[in-house]
Amino acid sequence: MEESYLLVLLTLDATLRVATPLILAAMAGLFAERSGVIDIGLEGKMLAAAFAAAATAAATGSAWAGLAVAILVSVALALLHGFACITHRGNQVVSGVAINVIASGLTVVLGIAWFHQGGRTPTLDAEFRFTEHALPFAEAARSIPVLGTIYAEVISGHNFLVYLALAMVPLTWWVVYRTRFGLRLRAVGENPAAVDTAGISVTGLRYSAMAIAGLLCGIAGAYLSTAHSAAFVRDMTAGKGYMALAAMIFGKWKPVPALFACLLFGFLDALAVRLQGVEIPVIGVFPVQLIQALPYILTVVLLAGFIGKAVAPKASGTPYVKERT
């Protein structure tokens, strides 16, 4: 019983680690789409940021420098998406897919050219990465039944980017629902003409949302290559941008429901790792491939709109054209 309880705690602990980039990317997508811009390019921004963070950390020996460059690269791609979709009123889906394709190809080409390791970056030593830290009193809390072990095994022992991702959920809620910027952001996603009539810049609001989305994707990418892993490898995001998009839609463009969807994806991923080689009575060795496929199957189901009715912001995907008299 004690062993099973510990296994459950370790699975929940892994869930938080796996869900971290999904949470950050889902919040990024929420800001973008609340402003009326569809952001399919979450995947590409995370991938480019992951490469930038690992390459910079390997070159400078600083994970913080890697994080800063990752954010810069991701924000630049987000603004490029904005330039194509907001300024030139291009197709938002096409622009997002283009960013994904460019990031997938360019990271491998630059990786081969710079590091000569088949597209991956050098392995980062512990001092060049964001490593785990125990929270105060974590060791002492282990002796306390239930709550103490949950605190020591699940809540404590993560790197600061995990806690930052969790903190971004209430912060996003506060910004979107409790600030003037958030009110205007929601309004521009529903009726940009009304916002424009009030003398507020639709273009400025949408570019601001894209910059925030780029910042969050940059942190998510840096987490993948300098915290969760110790190097960048080809296509290491593995569809996490699309999963975050599905989580955001499942959460109906609201931060807290999107968080729970991300945790569900993370739990399935963590469970697949824990079930590897485990023999289950009657079934035998469980086909781990089935569990590993579940997050992606769930993503397809959610994006196809089979679960509940998800109504996007009314102006989402529609370029704003200012009427002239």
Cα separation, 128 vs 308, in Å, equals: 44
Q: Which of 75, 54, 22, 70 is nearest to 250 (CA)?
A: 22
Structure confidence at residue 307 (pLDDT)? 60
More confident residue, 288 or 188: 188
Cα separation, 101 vs 97, in Å, equals: 6
Cα separation, 48 vs 74, in Å, equals: 7
pLDDT tens by residue, 21-54: 999 999 999 999 999 999 999 999 999 999 999 9
pLDDT tens by residue, 131-180: 888 888 888 888 887 888 888 888 888 999 999 999 999 999 999 999 99
Strand, coil or helix: 280: strand
Q: CB–CB of 180/174 below 8 Å?
A: no
Q: Specify the pTM.
A: 0.92
Residues in the chain: 325
Residue with the two structure tokens 């949302």? 209
Q: CB–CB of 102/80 below 8 Å?
A: no
